[in-house]
Amino acid sequence: MTEALSKAPERGYAESVELSVNLKDLDLSIPKNRIEDDITLPNGRGRPVKVALFGSPEMLQKARSVADRAFTGAELEELVKDKKAAKRLVDEVDFFIAEAPLMPTIGRRLGVVLGPRGKMPRPVAPGSDPSNIINALKRSVRVRSKGNRTFHAPIGTRAMKPEELAGNIDALLTRIMSKLERGRTNIESVYLKTSMGPAVRLW
């Protein structure tokens, strides 16, 4: 990891640091062999992560202090009438959660925007307090391999301490291996790089 950071030239901003994971010996045409997961990083992303909530007025009241955006069912109906505003929201927000009864409406009205971006909301139980879920998502990264043998995942920024990045790498790879049929054996290689720097092999 130190090699990847030292080889990358200094930039005037906090570059992201990401892993590139290459899988092997998996039939990725079978959905169960694909990785799609929200993985909580113990040391966070090193940048703000935005979470939006769709819920009842009661649920929104519980979570307004932690959610970046919050919409009632009525506000959701208004949002979907403005397609540009809906697309802008989906692009700006990292994660969505929704009170379970609103999921069918969201699927019908916003699924075409949310689905292709891998941002369909995580359902939460009616009347619950989603604050803990929101706080966990603010330290999470969504990993999607789709049908590709190689996929990428951000694990922090260059401004973070090396030990913080190392902790995030360990957590992410441990979670990925737990999802694979044969664990570590299904990973061919892992590379680390900053957004503008060269890739350095870790495995």
Domains of the chain: 2-46+140-201 (3.30.190.20), 51-137 (3.40.50.790)
Over residues 91-134, the pLDDT tens digits come to: 999 999 999 999 999 999 888 889 888 899 999 999 899 999 99
Over residues 28-87, the pLDDT tens digits come to: 888 889 998 999 999 999 999 999 999 999 999 999 899 999 999 888 888 888 888 888
Q: What is the pLDDT of residue 81?
A: 85
The DSSP letter of residue 108 is H
Mean pLDDT of 148-159: 93
pTM over 0.75: yes
Residue 1 has pLDDT above 90, yes or no: no
Helix extents (H) in the chain: 2-7, 57-63, 73-81, 83-92, 103-114, 131-137, 162-179
Closest Cα partner for 79 from 117, 118, 52?
52
56-79: b (≥16 Cβ within 10 Å) or e: eeebbebbeebbbebbbbeebeeb
Q: What is the pLDDT of residue 172?
A: 97
Higher pLDDT, 7 or 185: 185
- Taking phi first (over 0 means left), then psi (-120 to 50 degrees means alpha), and beta for anything else, what does residue 105 get? alpha
- Taking phi first (over 0 means left), then psi (-120 to 50 degrees means alpha), and beta for anything else, what does residue 162 get? alpha
Q: What is the pLDDT of residue 8?
A: 56
Over residues 124-139, the pLDDT tens digits come to: 999 899 999 999 999 9
For residue 70, the cross-strand partners are: 53
